[in-house]
Amino acid sequence: MEVFFQTLVGGLGFGAVYALVAMGFSIVYRTMGLVNFAHGQVVMIGAYAASTFYMTAHVPFFISIPVAMVVTGLIGLVIERVLRPLENKDFDLMLIGTIGFGMVLESLATIIWGATGHAVPSPVDTEPLDVFGIRIRTYSIVVLAVAALATVALVLFLQRTKRGAAMQAVAMDHEAATAVGIHVGRSNAVAFAIGAGLAALAGALVAPMLYVNPTLGGSLGIKGFAAAILGGFGNIPGAVVGGLAIGVLDSYAAGRFQAYSELVVFLVFTVIIMIKPTGLFGERTVNRA
């Protein structure tokens, strides 16, 4: 039983990261109906940016995170601005454009930081907590707390602010939103910036848990994408549940099936999606394709 709970705790830590990645996918999709295939690479840039400020510039870790979020937020704005002329004109080319941006970001990371990558020391050096024989890493608790705060902040932004309400309106009907004076392009830009900021937050938090390298975004992006689909693409609470579910499933699969863990995770994911194609909470966005 101790092994069961130990694995559960470990899975929740990574699951919180996948949830942040999934929310980044979802916020763009619910606003624009677009899947940003560069999102995983933005996560990787966020991990590199935060770790560089932390390890090279000696900026405190929890200050380097918002700085990295600003950097990737600007990247998100650039991606949206380049793709904006294609909005409602060539959806397929927009998708291809995000793939191209992902390749560019990965190449830039290799040029700037090299291909070997680096390890990031944990910013929390306290001993693991011992709860009824279960050892819980203090940093895992920090990751869960930060992810929870980010989720609450995003939900409050969408529900309690004028800009959030405008984004909700654009998600429901962008033509009607335009008719009542909402600047759709600006809402899309904000969605991309928020999505990129969440990506940086995920990358920064996962950096001390994994080895940071230019291919980091591939694995995190795929699992975050799967989490978003599992929860119901475009559904923010669903993204959180999907991320935690993928994290826990991945943790148990790694313990039981080791080298075949990812195969098991995606087999289970496929079965669930075959049974419930719209995800656990259903899709809540308008597809403009």
Q: What is the pLDDT of residue 285?
A: 45
- pLDDT tens sequence across 195-237: 999 999 999 999 999 999 999 999 999 999 999 999 998 889 9
Q: Which residue from 193, 219, 190 is spatially nearest to 206, judged by alpha carbons? A: 219
Beta bridge partners of 136: 129
Asked if the structure places residue 280 within a domain, the reply is no
Task: Give the containing element (helix H, strand E) for 130.
Answer: strand 129-131
Asked if the structure places residue 111 within a domain, the reply is yes
Asked if the structure places residue 284 within a domain, the reply is no
Q: What is the pLDDT of residue 194?
A: 96
Asked if the structure places residue 286 within a domain, the reply is no
Q: What is the pLDDT of residue 96?
A: 92
Asked if the structure places residue 288 within a domain, the reply is no
Question: For 235, phi and psi rounded to 5 degrees?
Answer: -100, 115
Asked if the structure places residue 185 within a domain, the reply is yes
- Domain extent for 204: 2-275
114, with CB counted inside 10 A (0-12, 13-18, 19+), is: exposed
Asked if the structure places residue 285 within a domain, the reply is no
Provide the CATH number for the domain around residue 128: 1.10.3470
Q: What is the pLDDT of residue 1?
A: 64
Q: Mean pLDDT in each 10-residue stretch from start to end of the chain (289 residues)? A: 77 95 93 90 97 94 96 94 82 90 95 92 83 82 95 92 84 77 85 95 95 93 95 91 94 86 91 90 56
Asked if the structure places residue 109 within a domain, the reply is yes
Q: Residue 134 is encoded by which pair of tokens?
A: 């279960």
Number of separate domains in the chain: 1
